[in-house]
């Protein structure tokens, strides 16, 4: 049920839909059927999404985002409060895990939406 003549939404709206873990085309259907497993096609508009591969880029972006939050925070806490190492570890390791696991699906959704918007879905090889 792909509408070939239908134009795509503006890039920012498409990326926002992906960040919200929604279909980049309609914004209504879910992007994932499991934690990071994309649906084969959108339940709302039938857009084919399962073949879009972001590979390792979402992980790299997530590492960069989490690193830019946690590392400066740890430095600021160390400079101002000098907590013992066990307190550092008990604060930053859970924060890294929580931020990584919560941001990864949204960052992957954003990048999958970008690939979809740019029509870099893996179909261009044929």
**Beta carbon nearer to Zn ion, 2 or 73:** 2
Helices (H), ranges, 24-84: 57-81
Read off the tokens for 78.
């160390």
Contact between 42 and Zn ion by CB under 5 A: the answer reads: yes
Which span (35-43, 70-78, 87-95, 104-112) binds Zn ion, by CB under 5 A?
Answer: 35-43
Contact between 117 and Zn ion by CB under 5 A: the answer reads: no
Among 14, 15, 23, 115, binds Zn ion (CB under 5 A): 23
**Beta carbon nearer to Zn ion, 45 or 77:** 45
Among 14, 18, 19, 29, binds Zn ion (CB under 5 A): 29
Centroid of chain to Cα 86 = 31
**Beta carbon nearer to Zn ion, 66 or 115:** 115
Contact between 109 and Zn ion by CB under 5 A: the answer reads: no
Contact between 44 and Zn ion by CB under 5 A: the answer reads: yes
Question: CB of 41: closest distance to Zn ion in angstroms?
Answer: 8
> Count of CB atoms within 10 A of residue 116's CB?
22
CA distance 28 to 24: 9
Q: How distant, in Å, are the alpha carbons of 24, 63, 64, 80, 108 from that of 60?
A: 21, 5, 6, 30, 10
The percent helix, strand, coil of the chain (3-state, each to 5) is: 55, 5, 40
Binding positions for Zn ion, rule: CB under 5 A: 23, 25-26, 29, 42, 44-45, 47
């Amino acid at each position: 049920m792909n509408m070939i003549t239908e134009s795509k939404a503006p890039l920012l709206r498409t990326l926002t839909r992906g960040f919200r873990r929604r279909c980049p085309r309609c914004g209504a259907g879910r992007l994932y059927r499991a934690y990071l497993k994309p649906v084969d096609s959108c339940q709302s508009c039938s857009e084919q999404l399962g073949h879009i591969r972001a590979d390792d880029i979402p992980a790299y972006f997530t590492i960069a985002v989490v690193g830019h939050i946690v590392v400066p925070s740890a430095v600021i806490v160390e400079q101002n409060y000098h907590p013992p190492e066990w307190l550092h570890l008990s604060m930053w390791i859970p924060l890294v895990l929580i931020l990584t696991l919560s941001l990864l699906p949204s960052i992957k959704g954003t990048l999958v939406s970008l690939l979809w918007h740019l029509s870099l879905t893996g179909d261009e090889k044929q």
